[in-house]
């Protein structure tokens, strides 16, 4: 069965109307239908956080959400952060602190960290660790990631 359902949503500020295949994950829809490949696919079982996006302002693992659930919602992906070619503060802080090696975890880390800073503009180390505990970095850049988040918070 590959039924499709018509869905309306906004992605990074733009309204869109598309068809989503029932049974397809939001992750696959974002990458293959919207061609926004900044969102990464790692484990596809909720364990790694590489696929983190903001749905109605809240971070979710897009590999555990159905594409059809996007109907009526607002989606923010890593591509939506920069404005007029300028990186946002958190993205710049990741660069300044070399908070990655391969960069595969970075989009998910940044989306999860962004949501943390909205909830708690001045997080301490342990609050950052907790908030990012669902995001794995196989290169082990955790210290630099924490520094980048703190630095961005202080600005």
Ligand X SMILES: Cc1cc2nc3c(=O)[nH]c(=O)nc-3n(C[C@H](O)[C@H](O)[C@H](O)COP(=O)(O)OP(=O)(O)OC[C@H]3O[C@@H](n4cnc5c(N)ncnc54)[C@H](O)[C@@H]3O)c2cc1C
Q: What is the contact surface with ligand FES in residues (CB under 6 A)?
A: 41-44, 46-51, 61, 63, 100-105, 137-139, 141
46 binds ligand X (CB under 6 A): yes
Pick 79 or 142: Cβ nearer ligand FES? 142
CA-to-CA distance for 121 and 123, rounded, in angstroms?
6
Q: Measured from the CB of residue 15, what is the shortest distance to ligand FES in angstroms?
A: 26
Pick 66 or 103: Cβ nearer other proteins? 66
Burial class (CB in 10 A: 0-12, 13-18, 19+), 72: exposed
Q: What string marks each residue from 129 to 148 as x (binds other proteins by CB under 8 A) or -?
A: -xxxxxx-------------
């Amino acid at each position: 069965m590959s039924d499709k359902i018509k869905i309306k949503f906004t992605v990074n500020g733009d309204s869109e109307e598309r068809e989503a295949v029932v049974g397809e994950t939001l992750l696959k829809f974002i990458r293959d239908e919207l061609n926004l490949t900044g969102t990464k696919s790692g484990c596809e079982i909720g364990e790694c956080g590489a696929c983190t996006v903001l749905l109605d302002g809240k971070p979710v693992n897009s590999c555990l959400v159905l594409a059809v659930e996007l109907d009526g919602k607002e989606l923010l992906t890593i591509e939506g952060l920069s404005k007029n070619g300028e990186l946002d503060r958190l993205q710049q802080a990741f660069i300044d602190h070399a908070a990655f090696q391969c960069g595969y975890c970075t989009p998910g880390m940044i989306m999860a960290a962004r949501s943390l800073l909205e909830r708690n503009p001045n997080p301490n180390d342990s609050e950052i660790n907790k908030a990012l505990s669902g995001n794995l970095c196989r290169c082990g850049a955790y210290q630099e990631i924490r520094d980048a988040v703190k630095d961005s918070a202080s600005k």
